[in-house]
Amino acid sequence: MTADEKTSLARLLFTAGDYLRDGFHLPGEEYSFSDDEAFYPDEPVISAAVPVSADSLETVAAEIRECTGCPLHGERKNAVPGEGVARPLVLVIGEGPGADEDASGRPFVGKAGQLLDKMLASVGLSREKNCFIANMVKCRPPNNRDPLPEETAPCSRFLTRQIGLLNPKVILCLGRISAQTLLKTGASLGSLRGSFVSYHAGDTPQGAMTIPLLPTYHPSAILRDESYKRPVWEDLKLLRQMLIEKDPDYALEAGEGEA
């Protein structure tokens, strides 16, 4: 097969895959193939095209690192797809990477990230053991400003695919922008936090999902104002109680399950 034939086939497959998965296609992907030099019947032939159905967290992360879908790609050092375990109890969704995250390509590694790790550890959770940590937008908004709707909208296709692949038991949503964007509301975070809501992630490639979602304050809010500590701790206790009800192993570790 020639390089041009492979490029046409790859474009067709990825375009079809995008429409089937997301309902739209963002052009801009560049493909680089070379002509087959020869065909030897005894040697294994490896297809250059990735099957459309073979979506994975690694595929999503690779696409995020190449993405130019909004202006935020222009100044990033590193995109930050997210990290954690592949089958998490909790998917933590923040707003966007900061300077430390942009420099390292990892989510929540600065001061707010260290506080988040402590918050999670206080209820038996960690990104190494039972959480996945991601953001609404995967590239750093300049000067740590809030992500704009024209940035969260094109980026949401990545988060939707991550939610479908991760299938978490619970989503912990950090900060006003994340809560308002995911729940499609203009309500204040103060009125949204303090109870679970049903999040309908109906358009994931894996089909309709309804996941309990708990909004709470972002750890950076606590760093600015300690009075947020108490409501966040109340929310973490709610999270713990929900996980006890949903996961027998977690309940056992929390000392609330049947031995």
Q: Which stretch binds ligand SF4 (CB under 6 A): 2-10, 83-91, 122-130, 134-142?
A: 134-142
Buried b (16+ CB within 10 A) or exposed e, 182-200: bbeeeeebeebbeebbebe
The single residue among 9, 10, 57, 73 that binds ligand SF4, judged by CB under 6 A, is 73
The single residue among 60, 61, 79, 238 that binds ligand SF4, judged by CB under 6 A, is 79
The single residue among 64, 91, 123, 189 that binds ligand SF4, judged by CB under 6 A, is 64
Q: Is 177 in the site for ligand SF4 (CB under 6 A)?
A: no
CA distance 75 to 151: 14
**Amino acid code (one letter) for 34:** S
CA distance 108 to 172: 14
Q: Is 67 in the site for ligand SF4 (CB under 6 A)?
A: yes
H helical segments located in the chain: 3-22, 57-66, 99-104, 111-121, 149-166, 176-183, 189-192, 219-224, 229-246, 248-253
Q: Which stretch binds ligand SF4 (CB under 6 A): 37-45, 137-145, 196-204, 214-222?
A: 137-145
Which tokens go with 220? 């950076």
For strands 170-174 and 131-135, give the pairing.
Answer: unpaired
For strands 83-84 and 131-135, give the pairing.
Answer: antiparallel
The single residue among 95, 101, 102, 151 that binds ligand SF4, judged by CB under 6 A, is 151
The single residue among 17, 21, 60, 70 that binds ligand SF4, judged by CB under 6 A, is 70
Q: Is 115 in the site for ligand SF4 (CB under 6 A)?
A: no
Q: Which stretch binds ligand SF4 (CB under 6 A): 27-35, 85-93, 135-143, 233-241?
A: 135-143
Which tokens go with 18? 């995008």
CB of 140 to ligand SF4, least distance (A): 9
CB of 61 to ligand SF4, least distance (A): 10
CB atoms inside a 10 Å sphere around CB 131: 23
CA distance 136 to 151: 9
Q: Is 154 in the site for ligand SF4 (CB under 6 A)?
A: yes
The single residue among 112, 139, 159, 172 that binds ligand SF4, judged by CB under 6 A, is 139
Q: Which stretch binds ligand SF4 (CB under 6 A): 37-45, 98-106, 132-140, 227-235?
A: 132-140
**Between 124 and 154, whose beta carbon lies closer to ligand SF4?**
154
CA-nearest of 194, 199, 91, 99 to 136 is 91
Which residue ranges make up the site for ligand SF4 (CB under 6 A)? Answer: 64, 67-70, 72-73, 79, 137-139, 151, 154-155
